[in-house]
Structure formats: structure tokens, C-alpha cells
Amino acid sequence: MIFGYLTHRRTGPGSGMRVQDDGTVELNVDGGWRPITRLDEPALAELRDAVRASGVLELPEHTPAPPNIHDGDTAELWSDVDGRALHARIEAWADEHPAAAGSRDLVMTLSRLVTAAQAAGQR
């Protein structure tokens, strides 16, 4: 897997998306993964570069919430870019949490790439 994330919300079901090595993008729907599009090679290369640049591969297995944040979602992150396996959990996955910044930017990059793939009609 190039990158995947899943949020666990305190107030209801979370959301998530993941991209497999072959470019298949899956969306978490009702606790299950459903294919929604496919990224082409340039988009996959951009996503791999974004994973490397984001700092997520350096995250510890668990990052607690900072003392100043008392609420928020928990995020699980996965990647195996460059053979560096990542499975990390970040509590209070919010803009204010320093450990969350790289992964939140990465999710926005993924969303942009998926939107472009869907607009191009890639399946």
C-alpha cells in the first residue's frame, strides 16, 4: 500500500481512503473498503513523493494528544513506500497537533489526486 488513512471519530463513523500499489483507490464505506477509482503512474509517483516528504514514515506507532488538545478524531495511517512499513495512530488528529501536520497535508494531496482521477474517468 502506498498510503492509507482511517479516522475514528468520537461522534460517529470516521472516514478513510487508501491507495494500493497498483493504483486502486479504495474508500472506507460503512466499515468496508470499496474501489472508487485508479491513479495513473504519474499520480502514483506524486503520491509516493508526497509520502516521503510528509514525514509520516518517521512517525512512532502511537502519538498521544498534546496536553492542550482535549478532543478530536484519532487517525490510523499506513504506508509501505520504499519498504518502510508504517502503521501509526495519532490521537487528536487536528491542525493544532504538531505530529498531525504532515499526514493532514498528505490526505489533502491524496484527495486532490483522487478528484483528478475521477474527473478523468479513470476506473
Here the CATH number for the domain that contains residue 89 is 3.30.1560.10
C-alpha cell at 24: 486502486
pLDDT digits (tens, 9 = 90+) for 28-74: 988 889 999 999 999 999 999 999 999 999 999 999 999 888 777 89
Query: Three-class SS of residue 50?
Result: helix
20 pLDDT more than 90:
yes
Number of domains composing the chain:
1
| CB contact at 8 A, 104 and 93 | yes
Give the structural domain span for 65.
Answer: 3-119
| CB contact at 8 A, 43 and 64 | no
Which strands, in side-by-side order, build the sheet including 74-79?
Answer: 32-38, 24-29, 16-19, 3-8, 74-79, 86-90, 62-63
Q: Does the model's pTM come out above 0.85?
A: yes
